[in-house]
Amino acid sequence: MGMGYGLLAAAIAAEVAGTTAMKYSDGFTRLWPSLLTVAGYGLAFALLAQTLRTLAVGTVYAIWSGVGTAAVAAIGMIWLGESAGLVKIAGIALVIAGVVVLSLDGAH
């Protein structure tokens, strides 16, 4: 995995952490989760900007948004007590499949 994809993975992790912290911020009324949200998104965008120096924007955004969406949905189901029905799981699988297809085109 190249440097660009490593930065992208870190950007996704920061965005997922920021989104998860936002759940606990109670509408930005709790200080520490609110600060973690801002820090997570700030780091995610900084890393994303570095990723775009070496990788195509369409590929980067497809992977970042798709993997981030799937990861946050999985966190919601596994740790936050959100429903885990077959339709939701199928939707996550479709998001991942879409990211894979878009990424294949960006690999050339």
Show me where the domains of the chain are located: 3-106
CB count within 10 Å of CB 48 equals 20
CB count within 10 Å of CB 79 equals 10
Q: What is the pLDDT of residue 1?
A: 61
Apex 20 CA angle, 64 and 45, nearest 5: 40
The distance from CA 22 to its chain's CA centroid, rounded to whole angstroms, is: 13
Q: Which residue has the tokens 């509408």?
A: 27
Q: What is the pLDDT of residue 70?
A: 94
With residue 46 as reference, give the H or E element that holds it: helix 31-51
Q: What is the pLDDT of residue 13?
A: 98
Q: What is the pLDDT of residue 20?
A: 97
CA atoms of 86 and 23, how far apart (whole Å): 23
Q: Which residue has the tokens 């948004």?
A: 65
Q: pLDDT tens digits, the chain, 108 residues: what are they?
A: 689 999 999 999 999 999 999 999 999 999 999 999 999 999 999 999 999 999 999 889 989 999 999 999 999 999 999 999 999 999 999 999 988 888 776 554
Q: What is the pLDDT of residue 2?
A: 84
What does pTM read for this prediction?
0.89
